Amino acid sequence: MAGRLRRFFRKNAVNFMILAVVLSLYAATMTPQIRAVFYESKDKPVYQGADVPYCAIQCNVYQGAEYIPAMLDILRERNIRITWNMGGVFVDANASLTRRIAESGQELGNHGYRHLQHSTLSYEENCEEIRKCHEAVVRAAGVGMSIFAPPSGDYNDTTIRAAASAFGLSKSTVHKELSQKLRRENPALYKQVEEVLRRNQAERHIRGGLATRMKYLREKQKKIDKNAEIR
């Protein structure tokens, strides 16, 4: 038995060396966040950014009305307040439930009306989606919203401009808050935001080109559909 094991290890020595090197490189390149995912208890959240014992929770709502009352009860029992990003079509179909969420002290956010991909929409279409959702929530719960969370996290510069317009802000106001005020009040967080802004500036011409291409394709498809109807 011992002889067979020695022959096995001698025969596969090179493979074991390669495996050891790969594992060493993998361990050396793991970030603290990745290590936390693999080595921290699954009962603990994985924190990113400032090392503080807090986390923010949001719930995007377009379906699952049957689960929400129980969720609200659990949040109330534990004195937890989260952000509910409301889809407009859901709100119109569940006005009383939307009102209950608001009346329970939870925060409501705008999640668009029809759960569309906002990076593919024109400025006017972005504004319309945000406006219709806002109006639906006001009708149902009598409250406004100060947060917009685009469906699927999908957005571009046009979406940002539309959201800023909907909430009475300008891009320059938002940029000043992030680049100047935040630097004074939270330098650690500013460093993270600065990296996001830098990357956004480097990539914006690419996204602009893609947005222009998508707009051209939409207009082209509209012409094709119109010609097909005429025929």
pLDDT band at 53 (very low <50, low <70, confident <90, very high): low
pLDDT band at 167 (very low <50, low <70, confident <90, very high): confident
pLDDT beyond 70 at 223: yes
Q: 72-106: per-residue pLDDT in tens?
A: 999 999 999 999 999 999 999 999 999 999 999 99
Confidence at residue 66, expressed as pLDDT on a 0 to 100 scale: 93
pLDDT band at 134 (very low <50, low <70, confident <90, very high): very high
Helices (H), the chain: 2-11, 13-29, 32-39, 68-77, 88-93, 95-103, 123-141, 157-166, 171-176, 182-185, 187-230
Mean pLDDT of the chain: 77
For residue 135, which phi and psi values (nearest 5 degrees)? -65, -35
pLDDT beyond 50 at 43: no
pLDDT beyond 70 at 147: yes
- What is the distance between the alpha carbons of residues 168 and 162, in angstroms, rounded to a whole number? 10
